[in-house]
Structure 1
Amino acid sequence: MQLETQSLSSQLKQAGTKKPGLLFVLSAPSGTGKDSVINALKEKGTDFHVVASVTTRAPRPGESEGNPYHFVSHEQFKDMIEQNELIEYAQVHGNWYGQPIRQIVDNLQQGRDVLLKIDVQGAATVRQRVPGAIYIFLVPGSIEELVERLTNRQTETEEERQRRLLDAQHELAQQEHYEYTIVNRQGRLSEAVEQLQAIMQAEHCRTRPRYVQI
């Protein structure tokens, strides 16, 4: 009995030690509402780090350095690639986007969950490099809803909007490669937020958590 008690005590002590965070990868067609879902989940008090991507595109109205991207020149982006500072990078809608490795590693080591908000190209690269991550795909309620969202936000020209809609058809076909799918229906944001929160909580309840090493 003494040996059993000591063994249980040892297990409880080990269970109470700080564990590394989990890496979640969220992809979705442009205009599906990724930022709205993420921001609403943060407002609920869920603690996780959203990686601020680097991009060569110009800031949109309301955006600033570090919110939600780090805006860099093509030359700076090239230097980051050569210095192996990006876990993945790709050209999307005519601009380059990349995910800084250091943000991910530092937060995971501190026991904080990390969320990568990336397109299907980037997710495919990360999947090869980090198989222990959790992959989630966000879809609109319908293509009609997606068209309405892209039109209403008025951040692209008509040509750019049509290009994003064509890209969306390809991206939606990739959701079979993800472990979870969440539908973000128009006017029902809270449902998508609750599902994302449930996924993150459930992954922490696994008997064999999918911790990653980068």
Structure 2
Amino acid sequence: MQLETSSPLSPSGQTTITRPGLLFVLSAPSGTGKDTVINALKQRGADFYVVASVTTRPPRPGESEGNPYHFVSQVRFQEMIEKDELIEHAQVHGNWYGQPRKPIADNLQQGRDVLLKIDVQGAATVREKVPGAIYIFLVPGSVEELVERLNHRQTETEEQLNRRIADAQYELAQQEHYEYIIVNRQGQLEEAVNKLQAIMHAEHCRSKPRYVQIQN
């Protein structure tokens, strides 16, 4: 599906350019602080749509439907795959995750930026299906910082924690496939937020704008 640019006439008779929004894909190992950085940028008044992924995993304490995921059964998830309602889907940490197609396309068409929080496996699929997206990788200050954050969350069993640490090692090795790298050091949240905001602003100042095309 091609998201076209429209050029309506303003009351003065001059042409105003309305472009589709930009699609930003943000990946990071679990525990790096994706949600914290995104929420901090939102609090500054930045206007972009954060996609709520669909997942088969159960909600954690403090989570609810749509915040930060749409929680569905395995049966419903399979139905969404069959109906082509997901741009991509993958099994991560023993659970299924997917990105809903319609809200992404609708917001882009309305000229609103969209941000996808997604693992490296899903990002690789989106990279093939969505030319024009901007890929950003968030990394911790060190692996030791990451392990400390995961331990502090106390939301996983020891087995799950070990799996996430092992997965993080693999994911960190994939950062070369991203256009931007942001380091989210412990106690330096503002620096990471500033860099994410700067990237989003810079992409809107390109002399040759990116145009997002979602392919089936």
TM-score range, shorter-chain basis?
over 0.9
Alignment of 1:95-110 (within 5 A): 95-110=95-110
Give the corresponding residue for 1:30.
Answer: 30
Give the corresponding residue for 1:51.
Answer: 51
Percent sequence identity is 79
Conservation of the 8 A alpha-carbon contact between 2:131 and 2:213: no
How far residue 213 of structure 1 moved from its aligned partner, in angstroms, is 1.7
How far residue 18 of structure 1 moved from its aligned partner, in angstroms, is 1.7
AA in 1 matched with 2:81: I
CA distance in 1, matches of 2:116, 2:209: 18
Alignment of 1:154-169 (within 5 A): 154-169=154-169
Alpha carbons of structure 1 residues 150 and 14: separation in structure 2 relative to 1, 3 Å: farther
Give the corresponding residue for 1:5.
Answer: none
Post-superposition CA distance 1:85-127 (Å, at most 9, x none)? 0000000000000000001000001100000000000000000
| Moved >2 Å (runs of 4+) | 13-17
CA distance in 1, matches of 2:133, 2:48: 14
Bigger Rg over Cα? 1
CA distance in 2, matches of 1:209, 1:173: 29
Conservation of the 8 A alpha-carbon contact between 2:24 and 2:135: yes
Give the corresponding residue for 1:21.
Answer: 21
How far residue 16 of structure 1 moved from its aligned partner, in angstroms, is 3.0
Q: Which runs of 5+ in 2 are unaligned?
A: 1-9
Alignment of 1:69-80 (within 5 A): 69-80=69-80
How far residue 131 of structure 1 moved from its aligned partner, in angstroms, is 2.1
> Secondary structure of the residue that 1:57 maps to in structure 2?
coil
CA distance in 1, matches of 2:95, 2:146: 21
Give the corresponding residue for 1:60.
Answer: 60
Alpha carbons of structure 1 residues 202 and 151: separation in structure 2 relative to 1, 3 Å: same
- Which is helix-richer, 1 or 2? 1
AA in 1 matched with 2:171: E
> Secondary structure of the residue that 2:19 maps to in structure 1?
coil
Give the corresponding residue for 1:148.
Answer: 148
Give the corresponding residue for 1:188.
Answer: 188
> Secondary structure of the residue that 1:17 maps to in structure 2?
coil
Post-superposition CA distance 1:130-172 (Å, at most 9, x none)? 1210000000000000000000011111110110000001000
> Secondary structure of the residue that 2:45 maps to in structure 1?
coil
Conservation of the 8 A alpha-carbon contact between 2:138 and 2:184: yes
CA distance in 2, matches of 1:14, 1:155: 56
CA distance in 2, matches of 1:125, 1:26: 14
Alpha carbons of structure 1 residues 105 and 158: separation in structure 2 relative to 1, 3 Å: same
The two structures, once aligned, show a CA RMSD in angstroms of 1.6
AA in 2 matched with 1:22: L
CA distance in 1, matches of 2:175, 2:111: 28
Q: TM-score, normalised by structure 1?
A: 0.93
Alpha carbons of structure 1 residues 39 and 85: separation in structure 2 relative to 1, 3 Å: same
Alignment of 1:120-159 (within 5 A): 120-159=120-159
How far residue 59 of structure 1 moved from its aligned partner, in angstroms, is 0.1
Give the corresponding residue for 2:118.
Answer: 118
AA in 2 matched with 1:63: E
> Secondary structure of the residue that 2:20 maps to in structure 1?
coil
Alpha carbons of structure 1 residues 91 and 15: separation in structure 2 relative to 1, 3 Å: farther
Give the corresponding residue for 2:179.
Answer: 179
Conservation of the 8 A alpha-carbon contact between 2:183 and 2:192: yes
